[in-house]
Structure 1
Amino acid sequence: MVDAWMIDVPGERVVVREPGPADEVPLQTLFEECEDWFVAATGLPSGPGDVQSLFYSLPEGANPDDKVLLVLERDGVVAGLVDAVRDHPEPGAVAVGLFLLAPWARRRGLGRALAESLLARAGEVPVVTATVPAGWRSGECFLERLGFALDAAAPAPATAGDRRTGPREGGLRRAELRRAGTR
């Protein structure tokens, strides 16, 4: 279990914590607000069951005990979500599957503050991986500003985790952050 902690964003009360049962509706609202990301990633808006599947979806070969879900709460309102898996795709690494901020919470420094806080708390993690929908410039730029190196876009696979990809689903760009001075 991860304890809640606050991150420093001037003028705002920002808490990072694990989601609980009462977060289902706020997370569904977040997913609806983030239609731009869902359309970029899947070709479609968020659908029924996306919040529930968040709790059990894992990349192939990942251990369920290594899954971490965190909610970003700004002034008591769910403003973001991080879905990550420790020790994936290799021992010691962290794979970020979803780093989502509501449109009203973007460009305020929340994403950077959250990412920096997570990296500091991760300790000696030598590599962090993430993906971003190909051509979704705000996500690509965000990762580049954090120091991630982005690969060329890969075509959409026939399946993504435990689901088939949609007919309008585009490819993804893999991003990697190698951290100097770790292991």
Structure 2
Amino acid sequence: MLPGDEPEVSRVLAACDDYLIEATGSPALPADVQSLYYSLPEGADFEQKRLLVLCDGAATVGVVDAVVGHPDGDSCSVGLFLLDPEVRRKGVGTRVARHLLREAAARGLRRVTATCPESWLPGIVFLRTLDFEVHPPQQEPAPTVGNRLRFPTERGLCTAVRELDEASLGTVHRGRSAS
């Protein structure tokens, strides 16, 4: 994500209020895009942060927030994977996620972690479709989840883990998947 992407990413966040209200209890706020730049778990470095803008032609249709090498050197934590409701359930998210999983494996990562509200069925189904093992919410919430701090209103977050292996993901060669 570049500074010029902020207005469109802000629009995508606002369009995803259905998810944000479910996950955090609050709609998107104008400063949410800025906070994506600075939201890091304890012990992570800004160089580990990846903010990806998903585009369909010239249109911004999604955003991914991830921290590579967290919670350990073999992992990547995804804090946010949002798609504009206009492109949901059309295969865009699945194609992007599978590509990112192959890229992560090709770069030597062994697992990807994510979170999803237990009540957000589209997210739970999405994660299971991608072969994530979805764990029920913890009784006592941890102060950090995935790659970000948890808001006090966030309850019932499932943790999802996907072990990466080249056999199940295919390999990546020069930006193209060979599955």
The TM-score range, normalised by the shorter chain, is 0.7 to 0.9
Residue 117 (structure 1) shift: 1.0
Change (3 A) 1:55 1:158: same
**Equivalent residue number for residue 63 of structure 1:** 45
| Matched-pair contact (CA < 8 Å) for 1:158–1:165 | no
* Aligned-partner SS, 1:135: coil
Matched-pair identity in %:
41
Q: Deviations over 1:108-149 (max 9, x none)?
A: 110011011111222131111000012100000000000000
| Matched-pair contact (CA < 8 Å) for 2:101–2:164 | no
Q: TM-score, normalised by structure 1?
A: 0.82
Q: TM-score, normalised by structure 2?
A: 0.83
* Aligned-partner SS, 2:138: coil
Structure 1 gaps of 5+ residues are: 1-18
CA distance in 2, matches of 1:107, 1:127: 25
Matched residue type, 2:109: V
Counterpart of 1:176 (choices 150, 161, 166) is 161
**Equivalent residue number for residue 171 of structure 2:** none
Matched residue type, 1:79: V
**Equivalent residue number for residue 132 of structure 1:** 116
Q: Does 1:152 align with 2:139?
A: no
> Number of aligned pairs?
162
* Aligned-partner SS, 2:89: coil
Q: Does 1:36 align with 2:18?
A: yes
RMSD of aligned residue pairs (Cα, Å)? 1.9
* Aligned-partner SS, 2:44: coil
